[in-house]
Amino acid sequence: GAGVSQSPRYKVAKRGQDVALRCDPISGHVSLFWYQQALGQGPEFLTYFQNEAQLDKSGLPSDRFFAERPEGSVSTLKIQRTQQEDSAVYLCASSLEQTQNTEAFFGQGTRLTVV
């Protein structure tokens, strides 16, 4: 596709519900990242995939957060038993190569509101 696509754009969840956020990266991009952006803050790293391998999940805030990219393209970020502090914009980004000098392209994000 033309860019990174995320769905849904907006999600309202009741506290305790499970949610799944989808990311379609740019076709052919090897690297995929998830970030969390709280209101008024910069994006915070959650996790990184190189193809289907999750190489870094050091930013996941708790074991309620889980991400997968089973076929090396589409990725899903799942949050179990959502809490109010999970309310944020979740950004997905992809880059063509795994080299660290390559810029990442971001999707529009999914705004999650937990009520």
Partner 1 sequence: AQSVAQPEDQVNVAEGNPLTVKCTYSVSGNPYLFWYVQYPNRGLQFLLKYITGDNLVKGSYGFEAEFNKSQTSFHLKKPSALVSDSALYFCAVRDPYTGGGNKLTFGTGTQLKVEL
Look at residue 52 and give its three-state secondary structure: coil
14: left (phi over 0), alpha (psi -120 to 50) or beta: beta
Under the binding rule (CB under 8 A), the answer on residue 108 touching partner 1 is: yes
Under the binding rule (CB under 8 A), the answer on residue 72 touching partner 1 is: no
Q: How far apart are CA 49 and CA 95, in angstroms?
A: 10
Q: Is 14 exposed, middle or buried (0-12, 13-18, 19+ CB in 10 A)?
A: exposed
Give the phi and the psi of residue 99 in degrees, each rounded to 5: -70, 145
Look at residue 85 and give its three-state secondary structure: helix
Q: In the complex, what is the shortest distance from the CB of residue 46 to partner 1, in angstroms, rounded to a whole number?
A: 9
Task: Please pick, from the candidates 24, 31, 60, 75, the single residue that binds partner 1 as defined by CB under 8 A.
Answer: 31
Under the binding rule (CB under 8 A), the answer on residue 53 touching partner 1 is: no
Under the binding rule (CB under 8 A), the answer on residue 55 touching partner 1 is: yes
Under the binding rule (CB under 8 A), the answer on residue 41 touching partner 1 is: yes
Q: In the complex, what is the shortest distance from the CB of residue 76 to partner 1, in angstroms, rounded to a whole number?
A: 18
Residues found near partner 1 in the complex (CB under 8 A): 4, 31, 33, 35, 40-45, 48, 50, 55-56, 58-59, 91, 93, 98, 100-101, 103-109
